[in-house]
Amino acid sequence: MTTLERPLRIALFAEAVTLAHVARPIALARAIAPRGHKLMLACDPRYAAFTADGPWQREDIRSIPGAQFNEALAKGTPVYDLDTLDAYVREDLRLLEAFKPDLVVGDFRLSLSVSARLAGVPYMAITNAYWMPQYEGGYALPVIPLSRMLPLPLAAALFHTFRPLAFIAHCRPMNQLRKRYKLPTLGNNLRRAYTDADHRLIPDLASLYPVGGPSSTHTYIGPLSWSPALRTPDWWDAPAGKEMGGVYVTLGSSGNTSLLPLILEALKDLPVLVLVSTAGAPAPSNAPANARLASYLPGDAAAQRSRLMISNGGSLSTQQALAAGIPTLGIASNMDQFLNMAPVEAAGAGITLRADRLSQGAIRHAAQTLLYSSAATLAARELALQLQSAANGVGAAFDGVATRLLASRS
């Protein structure tokens, strides 16, 4: 493999609508920094506690509020409008002009599809495999007003019938932006609108999320796992006294935290210690005796001391569970979470529950199924070995992609 002739100046942009889109650039930056690259990490100040210290030059950018992002997903409406994306472009260009990178990497910073091209800098997007345009897994019915009001079979039929029309509205702001800057349209393929780049970096297992089409469009970079360096709470080292070990519960920054009391109630009579991260949300007022709560927990350590993880089904949480060799129960709301959980469930390492069809009994039954299933644990442990092998090669894989991409532009 051809190697880089010199360290690069690399600008990383994190779109802080969820913590996952911040965590992956952080993880990538830490993986490639030892290779001598000069790094800039741009992120909204709301996550300054996680990005202030690191092997990078820290810069502030604006991202829409996470609540606004989650509300758009819940309503099934476009996440961004033209004015927001145009403001992003101007902000991107300001930083690119000042830093003068050799390469730009973005995580859901859709404006880089325009700004990196205007700046003449090669652009790589971090994206899950199931958002690749050629992914064959189809789409899933998310939790939207349609799914809440109608029986699921009817809601699903209507969703898939009218989805192409709905996606026109979702793609329109990006196409308007590109037209404004005299760039060609991306069409009405939502996956293309969300992942347009010179190259895509996929932080997934190819065996679990296979992508067809030419491999020149993407590289499986390896898992970009990250967990905050936090002081553990006082209860962390107290004896569990529970015969089945721990259950780690976190709904993340994009989960519906109003579901947390229902989850805790479903688990209260099980012989487990429930380790709960509220992801900064207020803790439930009446937590059961077997629950231990904190605003944030070191997720990798919490997963390692557990036998099951309950999350929103997002990729970062799912990988955290699988890396620890434990099955995962995903309580999914948005399409990303459903798309992520489907292959995990097919592999036997997890169960998906819909947030709009949730009940205490369904949570308890799914949790008991996974806790008592040796097959689910075995499937998770097999995936853990694959994740560990892939994680060891992130830095080298990135340099290989960067070398090829820069060579193609010279």
Confidence of residue 79 (pLDDT cuts 50, 70, 90): very high
Q: Which domains does the chain have, with CATH numbers?
A: 9-222+393-409 (3.40.50.2000), 246-388 (3.40.50.2000)
Backbone angles phi, psi at 291, to 5 degrees: -105, 140
pTM for the predicted model, two decimal places: 0.93
Mean per-residue pLDDT of the chain: 93
The label of the residue with tokens 């077997």 reads 290
Average pLDDT over residues 97-101: 98
Q: What is the pLDDT of residue 51?
A: 93
Per the CB < 8 A criterion, the answer to whether 303 and 247 are in contact is no
Three-state SS annotation for 264-285: HHHHCCCCCEEEEECCCCCCCC
pLDDT at 409: 79
Q: What is the mean pLDDT of residues 337-360?
A: 97
What mean pLDDT do residues 342-366 have?
Answer: 97
- In contact, 304 and 319? CB cutoff 8 Å: no
| Residue in 30, 16, 103, 27 with CA at minimum distance from that of residue 59 | 16
Task: List, for residues 379-403, the tens digit of each pLDDT value.
Answer: 999 999 999 999 888 999 999 999 9
Q: 111-129: per-residue pLDDT in tens?
A: 999 999 999 999 999 999 9
Q: Express each pLDDT in 144-177 by its tens digit.
A: 999 999 999 999 999 999 999 999 999 999 999 9
What per-residue confidence (pLDDT) applies to 2? 45
Above 70 in pLDDT, residue 1? no
Task: Encode pLDDT of 194-221 as tens digits.
Answer: 999 999 999 999 999 999 877 789 999 9
Question: For residue 253, is pLDDT > 50?
Answer: yes
Q: pLDDT digits over 28-46, tens only? A: 999 999 999 999 999 999 9
* Contact status, residue 40 vs residue 101, Cβ threshold 8 Å: yes
Tokens of 262: 């229902």
The more confident residue out of 296 and 310 is 310
Which residue reads 């902000």 in tokens?
91
